[in-house]
């Protein structure tokens, strides 16, 4: 399950944030299964430095 954080969606496996739940879910499924990140997915991640948390 992805977690919603400040209107964004978190991959709980790798801690990357996405604007779309679909992408966060894809990332999480991939991370869990492959134990690595998929650049085709992670390129859509939100840069944390852009966020004012």
Residues that bind Zn ion (CB under 5 A): 11, 13-14, 27, 31
Question: Do 25 and 31 contact (CB within 8 A), yes or no?
Answer: no
Give the nearest distance from C-beta 35 to Zn ion in angstroms. 10
Question: Do 44 and 18 contact (CB within 8 A), yes or no?
Answer: yes
User: Measured from the CB atom, is 8 or 27 closer to Zn ion?
Assistant: 27
Give the nearest distance from C-beta 33 to Zn ion in angstroms. 11
User: Measured from the CB atom, is 8 or 11 closer to Zn ion?
Assistant: 11
> What is the CB-side half-sphere exposure of residue 43 using CA atoms within 13 A?
3
């Amino acid at each position: 399950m992805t977690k919603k954080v400040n209107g964004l969606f978190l991959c709980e496996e790798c801690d990357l944030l996405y604007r779309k739940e679909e992408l966060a879910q894809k990332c999480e499924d991939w991370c869990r299964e492959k134990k690595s990140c998929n650049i085709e997915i992670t390129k859509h991640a939100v840069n944390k430095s852009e966020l004012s948390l």
